[in-house]
Amino acid sequence: MTNSKFWMPSRRTVLKAGLAAGALPFGAPYISTALGEDTVKIGYVDPLTGVYAALAKNEVEGAKLAVEEINAKGGITGRQVELLVEDSANDAGTGVQKANKLIDGSHINVLFGDVNSSIALALAQTANQKGVLHIVPGGHTDAVTGKSCHWSTFRVCNTTRMETNAVGKAVADQYGKKWFFLTADYAFGHTLQEGMEASLKEVGGTVAGTALAPLGTTDFSAYLIQAQAAQPDAIIVLNAGGDTVNSLKQIVQFGIDKQIHVAGAQQELEVLLALPPEARIGTWVFEWYWKQAGVAGVDDFVAKVRKRTNAAPTARTWFGYTCAYTYALIANQEKTLDAVKLAHALEGFTLPPEVAMQPNKAYFRAEDHQLMTSLYVGKAKPDGGPSGDDLFDVANVVAGDKAAPPASETGCKLTWPS
């Protein structure tokens, strides 16, 4: 330290500066507006850092917009709403700790989260143990409204089975019945494949082969070599996020898309934006899309979001927006914040068209608390148009309750507190 050419403060100075910076208050999440004690508090746990950061950011943006609008219209049960956002850092332990912080420290009235399925399950359990209402915006594992369902948990985004039921037959009709599966080797991928295989079986198709790629695989060449050798009609890509980006990039680089059709189930605008134009291919399912001619409320919503973020809203934005409005609407309707009463009231609750923003009715199914929301089947396209983000051509919209398996098949058994 003595020979350094660069100025370095002494240790004592650094210590003093650190102490002067002050003991940060123990638990004051950063979105807390100075509204004081008598507010309704919504806690949102999402992975703002880590591989899902882009998705989480969009979800939170949607929720923020909704909360602003709700406050402008008078809030919830006459009180203003505070949105408290915490970063789960894509780790279940951190997510649970943040949930505890929000529930015990900040006394939130409702919990939202998480993009990461395993964290969504952990949050659902924690919220249930503490009797707090929990709405999952974008965590897809079927168990959330399936075998691990709780009276206190509701979900906005689709289940993997809903997605495959919506797109399966379309792929078979358009492309053929011999499929090769490229599946991410975790619960999400597995359930997607189960669903697609079920759809394939219904039309009498065959499975040409399966490649289970570990989550986070960067190089798919080995799997694509297998896929090519199997000579299927279509290669069904069942993964998410960075895995989808890498697999599609490589499929196109290898020229596989010239001989074999590409399709899959869940797809997101964030993924298509991350791809070079030539790799924006395939038939997929979106859970919500921003270009919907003739559907009430969509254009307004798109305009508002564009103004705030310079980008179109994605399905994730809509998830966050819908979660916040779901809570506000049901609480105002029932004139209470009691979790059990609201949970009962949410069963069968239909979203008003200006929130649902889809051509079909969207409602929470009573038996499993799953939102019966539409699925948008269509094709990715390379050219995003004047705004750069119109990357999906919607072919048809399937109503949620038509695509969803019967509640009895989900494995959900709800038990209520006595």
Partner 1 sequence: MTQLILFNLFNGLVIGAFYALMALGLSLILNLSGVINFSHGGFLTLGGYLAFTLAPWIGFWGALLVAPLLTAALGCLIEPLLIRRLYGRDPLYSLLLTFGLAFIFEDGIRTIWGPQGLPLTVPPILAQPLSHTLFFLTGYRVFMVAIVAAVVAGLFLVLRYTKLGLRIRAGTFDLETVSVLGVNIRVLRLMNFGLGIYLAGLAGVLAAGMLGLLPTLGGSLIMPSFVAIIVGGLGSLPGTLIGGLLIGTASGLVTVFLPSASEAVIYVIMGVVLLVRPRGLLGEEGRL
Partner 2 sequence: MNGSLTDGPLPKKILSPHLIVIWLFLLSLPLWLLAIGGYYSIVTQVLILGLAAMALNYLLGFTGVLSFGHAAYFGLGAYGCGLTIKFIAASTPLGILVGVMVGTIAGALIGALIVRLRGVYFAMVTIAFSQVFYFIAFRWNSVTGGDDGLGGFERRPIDLFGFTIDIQHNQMLFYYFVLLLVALGVGAMGLLLRSPLGRAQLAIRENERRARFLGLNIERHIWIAWVISCGFTSLAGALYALLDNFADPRLLYWTFSGDLVIMTVLGGMRSFWGPMLGAALFVILRDTVSSHTENWMSFIGLFFVLVVLFFPRGVLGMLQRRKGG
List residues near partner 1 by CB under 8 A.
1, 4-6, 49-51, 53-54, 56-57, 185, 211-214, 216-219, 221-226, 228-229, 242, 245-246, 249-250, 252-256, 270-271, 273-279
Candidates 63-71, 114-122, 315-323, 342-350: pick the segment binding partner 2 (CB under 8 A).
Answer: 114-122
Residue type, 250: Q
Candidates 121-129, 323-331, 343-351, 391-399: pick the segment binding partner 2 (CB under 8 A). Answer: 121-129
3-state SS, residue 155: strand
Asked whether position 104 contacts partner 2 by CB under 8 A, the answer is yes
C-beta of 296: minimal distance to partner 2 in Å?
Answer: 34
Q: Which is nearer to partner 2, 82 or 91 (CB)?
A: 91
Closest by CA position to 363, among listed 379, 354, 374: 374
> Which does residue 29 bind out of partner 2, partner 1, none, counting CB within 5 to 8 angstroms by kind?
partner 2
Contact call for residues 58 and 98 (beta carbons, < 8 A): no
What 3-state DSSP class applies to 205?
Answer: coil
- Three-class SS state of 378: strand
Indicate whether 148 belongs to the interface with partner 2 (CB under 8 A): yes
State both tokens at 147: 């075998």
Determine if 24 is a binding residue for partner 2 (CB under 8 A): yes
Rounded Cα distance, 415 and 128, in Å = 11
Residue 249 interacts, among partner 2, partner 1, none and using kind-specific CB cut-offs from 5 to 8 Å, with partner 1
87 in contact with partner 2 (CB under 8 A) = yes
Is 323:112 a contact under the CB 8 Å cutoff?
Answer: yes
Left (φ > 0), alpha (ψ -120 to 50) or beta: where does 188 sit? alpha
Which residue, 105 or 216, is less far from partner 1 as judged by CB? 216
Alpha-carbon distances, residue 158 vs 107, 144, 192, 374 (angstroms): 29, 11, 12, 8
CB of 240 vs partner 2, minimal distance in Å = 12
Indicate the residue among 104 and 354 with the shorter CB distance to partner 2.
Answer: 104
- Residues 77, 80, 97, 250: which binds partner 2 (CB under 8 A)? 97
The partner in contact with residue 34, picked from partner 1, partner 2, none with C-beta cut-offs of 5 to 8 angstroms by kind, is: none
Query: Residues 212, 266, 221, CA angle at the centre, nearest 5°?
Result: 35
> Interaction with partner 2 in 169-198: which residues (CB under 8 A)?
185-187
Judged by CB under 8 A, does residue 143 bind partner 2?
A: yes
CB 138 within 8 A of CB 154: no
Contact 182, 220 (CB under 8 A): yes
Q: Which is closer to partner 2, CB of 101 or CB of 369? A: 101
Asked if 124 and 118 touch (Cβ cutoff 8 Å), the reply is no
The token duo for 362 is: 């969207």
Scanning 117-125, 280-288, 340-348, 400-408 for contacts with partner 2 by CB under 8 A, the matching segment is 117-125
Q: Which of 77, 80, 125, 226 binds partner 2 (CB under 8 A)?
A: 125
DSSP label at residue 368? T
Question: Rounded to the nearest whole angstrom, what is the least distance from the CB of residue 257 to partner 1 in the complex?
Answer: 11
* DSSP assignment of 117-154: HHHHHHHHHHHHHTT-EEEESS---GGGGTTT--TTEE
User: Residues, the chain, total?
Assistant: 418
Site string for partner 2, 43-82 (x = CB under 8 A): -----xx---------------------------------
For the CA atoms of 134, 73, 364, 286, the dihedral, rounded to the nearest 10 degrees, stands at -90
Per-residue contact flags (x/-) with partner 2 for residues 214 to 243, judged by CB under 8 A: -x----------------------------
Assess whether the previous peptide bond of 299 is cis (omega < 30° from 0). no
Q: Which does 414 bind (CB under 5 to 8 A by kind): partner 2, partner 1, none?
A: none
Q: Smallest gap, in angstroms, from Cβ of residue 415 to partner 1?
A: 35
Contacts of 5 (CB under 8 A, 6+ apart): none
Residue 21 or 293: which CB sits closer to partner 1? Answer: 21
| Site for partner 2, rule CB under 8 A | 8, 11, 14, 24-30, 48-49, 86-87, 89, 91-93, 96-98, 100-101, 104-105, 117-118, 121-122, 125-126, 129, 141, 143, 148, 185-187, 215
